[in-house]
């Protein structure tokens, strides 16, 4: 396929060099453990290799496709709960992610603007779930950190007569809202700074640039909607004490 990555020894060398570069930069810059970059890269290779072997079978069946999407959602919820540091509050994290994902997928697939076929459902579901997962993780972490760091202000708000939920929202809502910055920036600069994955994938698949552009716009706006809802819901859960670090 024109424009596709060329398979061969050079690809392996380039991947190893890129992983080493990321790991060394983290290590020398004391930004974290270089091992995390290596582990993440190895996991990506293994997981994508496994998916590549089974995806053909999955895409032949609507039921297998539905189960695969459910698996993606489950992994996203578990990952987000661990990232936030609230593994025991997994149901609430899952509900926050689902609150953003469900209406967006229902509208996109139910309206017919995207064909209700496994080949279309899996990519769009994966993109939306992944975006909602990241936004939920960032928003919850920021909200919980703000409540911990600014606990004195929270107590002062209670002393002034605010209810616990209202006091918590005053402290954590502005910071948690910053979790939407990546999605907003990506949407604002699409085509000017980057050509995101959906555009490139559709283009490489043989579609016209116009079709690729329309698909990317749909994905970006759907992502923004899903992440906005997920952030709103998880912040409300934090303020209500439903999502809290033990």
Asked if residue 216 lies in contact with residue 196, where contact means CB atoms within 8 angstroms, the answer is: yes
CA–CA distance, 195 with 204 (Å, rounded to integer): 12
Contacts of 134 (CB under 8 A, 6+ apart): 179, 182, 227
Asked if residue 158 lies in contact with residue 220, where contact means CB atoms within 8 angstroms, the answer is: no
pLDDT one-digit tens code per residue, 46-66 = 888 777 777 777 777 778 888
pLDDT of the residue at 194: 61
Which portions of the chain are predicted below pLDDT 50?
Answer: 1-2
pLDDT of the residue at 130: 92
pLDDT of the residue at 200: 57
pLDDT of the residue at 1: 45
pLDDT of the residue at 83: 92
Half-sphere exposure of 36 (CA within 13 A, CB side): 7
């Amino acid at each position: 396929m024109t424009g596709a990555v060329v398979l061969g020894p050079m690809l392996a060398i380039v991947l190893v060099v890129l992983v080493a570069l990321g790991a060394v930069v983290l290590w020398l810059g004391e930004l974290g453990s270089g091992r995390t970059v290596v582990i993440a890269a190895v996991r990506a290779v293994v997981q994508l290799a496994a998916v590549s072997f089974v995806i053909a079978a999955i895409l032949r069946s609507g039921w297998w496709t539905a189960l695969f999407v459910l698996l993606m959602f489950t992994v996203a919820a578990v990952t987000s709960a661990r990232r936030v540091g609230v593994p025991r509050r997994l149901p609430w994290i899952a509900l926050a992610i689902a609150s953003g994902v469900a209406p967006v997928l229902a509208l996109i697939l139910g309206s017919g603007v995207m064909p209700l076929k496994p080949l279309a459902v899996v990519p769009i579901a994966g993109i939306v779930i992944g975006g909602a997962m990241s936004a939920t993780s960032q928003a919850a972490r920021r909200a919980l950190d703000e409540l911990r760091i600014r606990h004195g202000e929270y107590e002062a708000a209670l002393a002034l007569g605010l209810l616990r939920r209202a006091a918590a929202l005053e402290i954590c809502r502005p910071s948690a809202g910053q979790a939407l910055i990546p999605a907003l920036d990506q949407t604002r600069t699409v085509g000017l700074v980057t050509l995101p994955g959906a555009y490139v994938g559709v283009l490489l698949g043989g579609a016209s640039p116009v079709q690729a552009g329309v698909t990317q716009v749909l994905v970006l706006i759907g992502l923004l909607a899903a992440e906005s809802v997920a952030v709103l819901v998880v912040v409300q859960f934090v303020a209500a004490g439903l999502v809290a670090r033990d």
